[in-house]
Copies of this chain bind each other. A is one copy, B any other.
């Protein structure tokens, strides 16, 4: 029986032998949602980096990349756009390589790089991702990017949504997977409403990105599965 485990924050990833797993990286607000949408819309690749300075370094290489960097919810001067999924439309990203600044997501990716495969999940590609995972016959580790290594509810709820689709398919769940699924059952009828009570929800509301949040909570808007290939995320060839 294959394992279906949930790593509730990147700070716990050393407890898992990632080489035994397909890892799914989850950073719902907003990195992995934007990545799913960008890859769906034809971005050639998305390169996640941790810091604005690393993003800037790509410009200095003179390459024709789109650079996405935000600080405190504002696009950093001189960059093409920020982390809003609305920036990742076909018109803007088709055929382009995007360098995306995301601290939590990049850390989770880095720590997972020795996994069998590393793919990107969000509510946008939930069913497509889950259907693919069912066919792989491999252990699955759902890694919540969290917030500065803290547990957060939005990433955990999405992990629970994946567990909900996989749990009847010969997987053995760890306690965190059971908990994530139970939390998803509580929140699933109105995830946005459920998350409003969280601290992170308050923080994001202050940034004025409620429309981004609504966007990121849409289920099955896309079917592409971004997969890590070297340092780049590209579209998985299913």
Residues of chain A whose beta carbon lies under 8 Å from any beta carbon of chain B: 8-9, 11-12, 15, 148-153, 156, 172, 174-176, 178-179, 182-183, 185-186, 197-200
The 5 closest A-B pairs by CB, nearest first: A151-B176, A153-B175, A152-B175, A175-B198, A182-B186
Q: For residue A8, which residues in chain B have a CB less than 8 angstroms away from its CB?
A: 8, 151
Q: Which residue of B lies closest to A11 (CB)?
A: B12
Query: With A11-B11, A175-B200, A178-B197 given, can you name 11 additional A-B contacts, CB distance below 8 Å?
Result: A9-B12, A11-B12, A11-B15, A150-B175, A153-B175, A153-B178, A156-B179, A178-B198, A179-B183, A183-B183, A186-B186
The number of times this chain is found in the oligomer is 2
Find out whether the CB atom of A174 lies under 8 angstroms from the CB atom of B186.
Answer: no
Query: Measured between C-beta atoms, what is the minimum distance from A91 to chain B in Å?
Result: 36
Query: Measured between C-beta atoms, what is the minimum distance from A64 to chain B in Å?
Result: 40
Find out whether the CB atom of B11 lies under 8 angstroms from the CB atom of A150.
Answer: no
A149 is contacted by which of B12, B172, B199 (Cβ under 8 Å)? Answer: B12
